[in-house]
Amino acid sequence: MSCSMVFGPVYSRRLGWSLGVNNLVGKVCSYSCMYCQAGPTVEMRIERRKFYDPGLIARCAASSCKSVNVDVVTFVPNGEPTLDSLLGRAIRAVKEACGKPVAVLTNGSLLWMEDVREDLMDADIVSVKVDTVSEETWRRLNRPHPLLRLDRVLEGIAEFSRSYNGRLLTETMLVDGVNDSVEHARMVGSFLGELSPYKAYISLPLRPPADPRARPPPPGRILAYYKVVEDVLGSGRVEVLWELEPPSYKFKDDIIHEIFNMVRVHPVRLEGACRAAREKGVDCESLVESLRREGLIVVEHEGEKFIVPSARLLPGRWRGEGRSA
């Protein structure tokens, strides 16, 4: 049974120990955000289609849930999870197989479709991207599929927020000089007020981005943005993710395979990978050498070392399903 769609668990401040599900094959998205940590979008689309069999996803997640303790199972692919037309079935199957809450991280661009909203209703937690409500900035920052319209996207997100009974979170990525002004904060804050999320997170491009121009704004500007949004939503309902999560990973048996599957979704911090590998008796140097043979390299970004695909060097292979289990 190939379980390359399941990775981690990875520790997340927002969710706890999270087992990741990459329910897509390849970098498939409706956006190609300049800050994307999974690299540029290879297949841009807005039509939904089938990827993995929901039963297979559930069996793979259940097998991981049995061997390591997790708090939540999160659909967090290297693209937009709602492009999977079987997502609703996969969410229900995973919930039943693992007995854990299920979270989905979505860019929200397809929530104007009724079937997408319905598919997400069974998720316990949904995090929706709201980087901007300005058409010009949206095109520059999120680089959407040409057939998407921002007014429709925002209306879809608002419609979902009115009918969803689970925990709604929002995530706003701030990029220096692009969407970080007080004026943007006022517009986004007003929209978030309409959504009334359980919590609004402000994140920063701290991992290697698709476009090297995507940098975090200076701290003063982030703070000013935060205050404007907090004025709208109220104290304790907005949080800035100033730093990356502590680099905590739990490996089971095949460390290289597990890192490989994680790196398809986001760069992995070398420090945490080495620490977890040492617990399995593998030293950091040997780990880096083995990763290099598999096409993974170490790069520095904002003073941190990350394991990333040389995919970006070997896109043909990276577009595939990765190594089989």
Question: Interface residues with ligand SF4 (CB under 6 A)?
Answer: 29, 31-33, 36, 38, 41, 79-80, 107
Angle between helices 270-279 and 255-263 (to 10 degrees): 160
Q: Give the pairing of strands 304-309 and 268-269.
A: antiparallel
Please state the closest distance from residue 217 (CB atom) to ligand SF4, in A: 17
- Minimum distance of ligand SF4 from residue 289's CB (angstroms): 30
Nearer to ligand SF4 by C-beta: 120 or 255?
A: 120
Q: Smaller CB distance to ligand SF4: residue 4 or 82?
A: 82
Q: Which sign, positive or negative, has the C-alpha torsion 96, 97, 99, 105?
A: negative
Nearer to ligand SF4, 52 or 138 (CB): 138
Contact between 35 and 209 (Cβ < 8 Å): yes
Smallest separation (angstroms) from ligand SF4 to the CB of 302? 17
Q: How many Cβ atoms from other residues are within 10 Å of residue 235's Cβ?
A: 7
Q: Are 190 and 147 in contact (CB under 8 A)?
A: no
* C-alpha to C-alpha distance for 30 and 142, rounded to whole angstroms: 9
For residue 142, the minimal CB distance to ligand SF4 (Å) is 6
> Between residues 79 and 247, which has the closer beta carbon with respect to ligand SF4?
79
3-state SS string over 158-179? HHHHHHCCCEEEEEEECCCCCC
Q: CA of 91: how far to CAs of 24, 28, 82, 121, 142, in Å?
A: 14, 19, 11, 10, 26
Q: Smallest gap, in angstroms, from Cβ of residue 121 to ligand SF4?
A: 21
The verdict on whether omega for the bond into residue 267 sits within 30 degrees of 0, i.e. cis, is no
> With respect to ligand SF4, which residue has the nearer C-beta, 38 or 70?
38
State the nearest-atom distance from the C-beta of 210 to ligand SF4, in Å: 7
Q: Least Å distance between CB 174 and ligand SF4?
A: 13
Task: Give the residue among 109, 131, 110 at the shortest CA–CA distance from 187.
Answer: 131
Nearer to ligand SF4, 63 or 85 (CB): 85
Q: Say if residues 60 and 5 touch (Cβ distance below 8 Å).
A: yes
Nearest CB to ligand SF4, comparing residues 213 and 280 = 213
d(CA 205, CA 215): 6
For ligand SF4, give the closer residue by CB, 130 or 259.
130
Q: Is the dihedral of CA 149, 152, 155, 157 positive or negative?
A: negative
What is the nearest approach in angstroms of ligand SF4 to the Cβ of residue 97?
A: 25
